[in-house]
Amino acid sequence: MQPEIELLGLSLKTFGLCFAVAFLVSGAVVGRRLRELGKPVDWSYEIVFAALVGGLVGARGYWLLQNPGGLSDDLLGSLFGGSGLVWYGGAIGGAIGVLAWAWRRGMLNLTLLDLCAPGLAIGYAIGRVGCQVSGDGDYGEPTDLPWGMAYPDGVVPTTVDVHPTPIYETVAMGLLAWGLWRARDSVRPGLVFAFYLVLAGCERFLVEFVRRNDDVLAGLTAAQLESLALMAVGLAWLVRAARSGGVRLSPGYRAPRSATA
């Protein structure tokens, strides 16, 4: 584990570095797709910035909702501290930020959702690399499987072999990002994002069974309940599409490639 690294006399958090790389790579993926669609590539920077600001506010706000006691102890520290970030809160906040940007740019449509889906998946995969390297406590329950590992030098240390769930998620979401990118011109508008909802929700739902989060309802964690909601929305979307013309694009269809299309 390496929670921090020294660079030119500065101590840098490895999770923060991976967090930054995740946004850069996601922006590059979005920029590549914008170029394919004939849109300004510079929009990718604007999208990433909107997602970053909204995501940080949402992730922190969601954590504070789950841990209201933190506000009473130190209001400013709770609001602007570096710890306490929740993925689903970040996803909600980031989505609001990007939707606000899209409304301003006149791009509030299904293309926007499909545009963001592969970037969301690869960004999540890289972010979990930061969780693994820093040992921030996102690991799973104790296990005697051959690939179980301890995190003795992590931010949240443990000397017991546990499920390395960040690795599970990095592999799963990396494969999902690749699949979504391959499907970008193969399915009807909006359905790349629908597949993202179903498969990303399924991944998080399953990995929660070996993570160490507490149950909140019917033996399920809060993340599992949220994942079920995402899967339900995505499945309903796909079923509706299948009943109204099919999921795949008709032969000969090509996505618009010009800025005026």
In tens, the pLDDT along 60-83 reads: 676 566 665 555 554 444 444 444
pLDDT of 246 reads 85
Q: Locate the domains of the chain by residue range.
A: 4-187
pLDDT: which is higher, 257 or 41 = 41
Do residues 143 and 163 lie in contact, with contact meaning Cβ atoms separated by under 8 Å? yes
Q: What is the arithmetic mean of pLDDT over 211-240? A: 92
What pLDDT score was predicted for residue 259?
39
The mean of the pLDDT values for the chain is: 85
Instruction: Report the predicted TM-score, pTM, of the whole model to 2 decimal places.
Output: 0.83
Q: Distance between CA 59 and CA 246 in Å, rounded?
A: 36
Q: How confident is the model at residue 88 (pLDDT cuts 50, 70, 90)?
A: low
Tell me what pLDDT residue 148 has. Answer: 94
- The pLDDT assigned to 75 comes to 44
Q: Does residue 180 have a pLDDT over 90? A: yes
Q: How far is CA 2 from the centre of its chain?
A: 23
Confidence of residue 249 (pLDDT cuts 50, 70, 90): confident
Q: Would you say residue 159 has pLDDT above 70?
A: yes
Contact (Cβ atoms closer than 8 angstroms) between residue 63 and residue 89? yes
Give the percent of the chain with pLDDT over 90: 55
Query: In the beta sheet, which residues pair with residue 12?
Result: 5
Q: What is the mean pLDDT of residues 10-29?
A: 88
Predicted pLDDT at 56:
78
Model confidence band, residue 58 (pLDDT cutoffs 50, 70, 90): confident
Instruction: Give me the helices (H) in the chain, please.
Output: 14-36, 43-66, 69-73, 75-80, 87-105, 110-134, 165-182, 191-207, 222-243
pLDDT at residue 87 tops 50: yes
